Amino acid sequence: MRLLRALLRGASPGSIPQQVDFYSRFSPSPLSMKQFLDFGSENACEKTSFMFLRQELPVRLANIMKEISLLPDNLLRTPSVQLVQSWYVQSLQEILDFKDKSSEDSGAIHSFTDTVIKIRNRHNDVIPTMAQGVTEYKESFGIDPVTSQNVQYFLDRFYMSRISIRMLLNQHSLLFGGKINPAHPKHIGSIDPSCNVVEVIRDGYESAKSLCDLYYMSSPELILEELNAKSPGQPMQVVYVPSHLYHMVFELFKNAMRATMEHNADRCIYPPIHVHVTLGNEDLTVKMSDRGGGVPMRKIDRLFNYMYSTAPRPRVETSRATPLAGFGYGLPISRLYAQYFQGDLKLYSLEGYGTDAVIYIKALSTESIERLPVYNKAAWKHYKGNHEADDWCVPSSEPKDMTTFRSI
């Protein structure tokens, strides 16, 4: 709380609250994968990126900062949420410092790139820190259905905004930060123009397998089948961010392996995990099937609920720790990565048998367009409006005794 107040006091006159109000009136400008690719490969110009980001970053930051301010007061008072707010205030102020700088000033442009890298590093732990704040709130005040619904709505939008802001920061810093990754010389920033989907899936499997072997002393095998219906006989490649795909498949493999090992522990025979990859004219689809016993239909939605995790609260120490360990955020964040470029992640479960997880990715870079939250009247109403009763009857846990009813 003190840090946030100090930052607000230290800002220039009429600055942060007014600037947030001003920039939140504008809608973010979603970019397509093709636009990211074309800019980086053909017209990579630090000056152009500087001019775009100094306008776009304040808009994206301000839009989500307005939504943070609509959270319950007790949640806003938690130390973790206060810390996250202070990061956003500081980052917005640092970007606004370049608002009136000349685009012809090479020194300012170089300084801007350094600032972008600093902001990116500052926000490394935004996801677990906000998760810590939600856990602190839940432990202190409990959760009612309306608050749970509002927090779920907010976190989906907050984390999607964070993914999009980080995408912009990564592209600029990787393209103009002076360092080229020797392992991926053909990448355009964080984007691989020819992302080998099968290779990324195998990498995710091997990482999850190492964890599974460490914990259970064994692991399920992988059976992978691929079908390129778009270009038969050709490698399965799309324009995509490999780190996003890796995050999704690694999380799904971890869940599938844990379920498989525990469901089949008595037999000590562990059925393999089947993965089917198909590339069509519009979609690239990855289906992962396990024999881990599945979950009841009523619990499927809970798997994507941030407030539902029953795991013990982990300590947030450094960004080098296993991401989201213990918060139960793996699946909802993975779904956001899929949805970010207009894809999706869905679960289909057969209780007693196993679960199919399906990732959908747009096959065309022109259709892979950022999905960005916008602060407007509709969003405001979601937080402030009264949630009306359901217009479907809720079944009782016990059937009514019809013999007690008398005819009229």
Q: Is 254 noted as a catalytic residue in this protein?
A: yes
155 DSSP 8-state letter: H
- Of 177 and 256, the structure prediction assigns the larger pLDDT to 256
Report the DSSP beta bridge partners of residue 349: 355
Q: What is d(CA 153, CA 132) in angstroms, rounded to the nearest whole number? A: 17
Report the DSSP beta bridge partners of residue 284: 279, 361
| CB within 8 Å of 325: residues ≥ 6 apart | 314
Give the H/E segment covering residue 287: strand 283-289
Residues 274-284: tens digit of each pLDDT: 999 999 999 99
- For residue 215, name the pLDDT band (cuts at 50, 70, 90): very high
The predicted pLDDT at position 15 comes to 78
Q: What is d(CA 121, CA 141) in angstroms, rounded to the nearest whole number? A: 32
Residue 40: how many other CB atoms lie within 10 Å: 20
Q: Is 382 noted as a catalytic residue in this protein?
A: no
The predicted pLDDT at position 99 comes to 94
Among 56, 67, 251, 370, the active-site one is 251
**Residue 95, pLDDT above cutoff 90:** yes
The predicted pLDDT at position 320 comes to 41
Supply 343's token pair.
């894809």
Q: Is 230 noted as a catalytic residue in this protein?
A: no
The predicted pLDDT at position 143 comes to 85
Give the H/E segment covering residue 211: helix 197-216
Among 66, 172, 209, 247, the active-site one is 247
**Residue 24, pLDDT above cutoff 50:** yes
* Inter-residue contact 273 to 221 (CB < 8 Å): yes
**Residue 349, pLDDT above cutoff 60:** yes
Say which range, 247-256, 359-368, 376-385, has the weakest mean pLDDT: 376-385
Of 37-51, 59-73, 302-316, 381-395, the range with the highest mean pLDDT is 59-73
| CB within 8 Å of 21: residues ≥ 6 apart | 62, 66
The predicted pLDDT at position 61 comes to 98
Angle among Cα 132, 133, 134 to the nearest 5 degrees reads 90
Supply 181's token pair.
């990754």
The predicted pLDDT at position 318 comes to 46
The predicted pLDDT at position 40 comes to 83
Maximum Cα interatomic distance, the chain, rounded to a whole number of Å:
88
Among 47, 118, 230, 254, the active-site one is 254
Mean pLDDT of the chain: 89
- For residue 299, name the pLDDT band (cuts at 50, 70, 90): very high
**Residue 383, pLDDT above cutoff 60:** yes
Q: What radius of gyration do the chain's Cα atoms show?
A: 23
CA torsion angle 127 200 186 372 (round to 10): -40
CA torsion angle 183 186 189 191 (round to 10): -100
Q: Is 251 noted as a catalytic residue in this protein?
A: yes
Among 63, 150, 170, 255, the active-site one is 255
The tokens 């359901």 sit on which residue? Answer: 390
* Inter-residue contact 271 to 260 (CB < 8 Å): yes
Supply 22's token pair.
């001003």
CA atoms within 13 A on the CB side of 327: 23
Q: What percent of the chain has pLDDT over 70?
A: 86
The predicted pLDDT at position 391 comes to 78
Angle among Cα 211, 213, 217 to the nearest 5 degrees reads 140
